Structure formats: C-alpha cells, structure tokens
C-alpha cells in the first residue's frame, strides 16, 4: 500500500455585506469571503491538500479564477471534482484535518454540519474529518477582520 500526505492553505479577503460560506455552511455575519467561486476558504484548503498529496498541482491549476464555469460556484462541487481527479489516479482518501483562523463569527456550532458536508462530498466517514478554529488574538489582517485563513492536511492511499 502506498500512503501520502498533503498540505493545503487558502486565504480570502473579507468584505462587508457579502455571503460567508465555510465548509458548505452559510454563516450569518456582517462580512463574508470574497472570491471567484463562493470563496469557501476551508474547502479550498482541503482541495489543495488532496491535490498536493496526489501530486496533481493545485486548485488554481484545475479551477482557474479566470474561467467563467467556476464563477460563483459552490466549492462543494470543486471538492467533488477534486475527489474525481484523485480517484482517476487510484487514490482513496483516509482523513482530513483542518484549521480555520478568523476572529468572527464563532465556528464551533457549525462544525458538525461542515463535517457532514465534507464527508458526503468526499465519501468518507464524518469521524475522519477534523475541523478546528482559532482566532488571531486581534492581530494582523485576520485580527482586523480583513481576511480568513484555512489550513488542511490529508492522508491518501492506494493499494
């Protein structure tokens, strides 16, 4: 059996009166992430971790922000497409561990739904999806609520 790990990172600018989607969950907040798709920073970091582990480049290579097909698209679809790319190469996903860094809103109440959304999209058990959140202690662009960051690691395997 061959096992690989991958690391993903994403950052998005926050804008007033803009939708805020994280982990496929629409969060009620006065600011939201801005981007070409729905700007789901968590799912983008997970996509990059998976693609990196399989040596399939990165999310921007497969889903260019200049391509109108991806404009405003749900990042759940991008994650599903990422999984298809891995499956074409014979990879199976073992687990995902992710960290969000933002000042607000509080993420903890939404983690079970995020886990369920991700587990369904990639076809693994909810118990194999870990999501954590922290603040930046009001420092830097995250502390000023100018942006949101996500990190993710994953394990993939093939027989």
Mean pLDDT across the stretch 67-94? 95
**44 labelled ligand-binding:** yes
Q: Is the per-residue pLDDT at 69 higher than 90?
A: no
**159 labelled ligand-binding:** no
**67 labelled ligand-binding:** yes
- Name the domain count of the chain: 1
> What CATH number corresponds to the domain at position 36?
3.30.1330.50
Give the confidence band of 77 by pLDDT, cuts at 50, 70, 90: very high
What pLDDT score was predicted for residue 70?
87
What pLDDT score was predicted for residue 41?
98
> Using an 8 Å Cβ cutoff, are 121 and 81 in contact?
no
**58 labelled ligand-binding:** yes
pLDDT tens-digit series, residues 105-156: 999 999 999 999 999 999 999 999 999 999 999 999 999 999 999 999 999 9
Q: Which DSSP string do the residues of 60-77 spell out, in sequence order?
A: HHHS-TT-GGGTT--HHH
Tell me the C-alpha distance between 42 and 102, whole Å.
11
What pLDDT score was predicted for residue 125?
98
Q: What angle do CA 32, 97, 126 make, to 5 degrees?
A: 90
**59 labelled ligand-binding:** yes
Give the confidence band of 72 by pLDDT, cuts at 50, 70, 90: confident
102: which 2 tokens? 């933002």
Domain that holds residue 70: 2-158
pLDDT tens-digit series, residues 17-66: 999 999 999 999 999 999 999 999 999 999 999 999 999 999 999 998 89
Residue 7 sits at φ, ψ, to 5 deg, of: -125, 135
**63 labelled ligand-binding:** yes
């Amino acid at each position: 059996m061959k096992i690989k790990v991958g690391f993903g990172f994403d950052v998005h600018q926050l804008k007033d009166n803009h939708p805020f989607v994280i982990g496929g969950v629409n969060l009620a907040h006065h600011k939201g992430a801005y981007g070409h798709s729905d700007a789901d920073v968590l799912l983008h970091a997970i996509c990059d971790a998976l693609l990196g582990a399989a040596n399939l480049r990165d999310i921007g290579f497969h889903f260019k922000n200049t391509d109108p097909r991806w404009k405003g698209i749900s990042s759940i679809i991008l994650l599903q497409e990422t999984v298809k790319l891995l499956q074409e190469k014979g990879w199976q996903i073992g687990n995902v561990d992710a960290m969000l860094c933002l000042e607000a809103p509080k993420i903890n109440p939404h983690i079970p739904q995020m886990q369920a959304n991700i587990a369904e999209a990639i076809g693994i058990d909810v118990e194999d999806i870990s999501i954590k959140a922290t603040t930046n202690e009001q420092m830097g662009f995250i502390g000023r609520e100018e942006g949101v960051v996500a990190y993710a690691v994953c394990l993939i395997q093939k027989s």
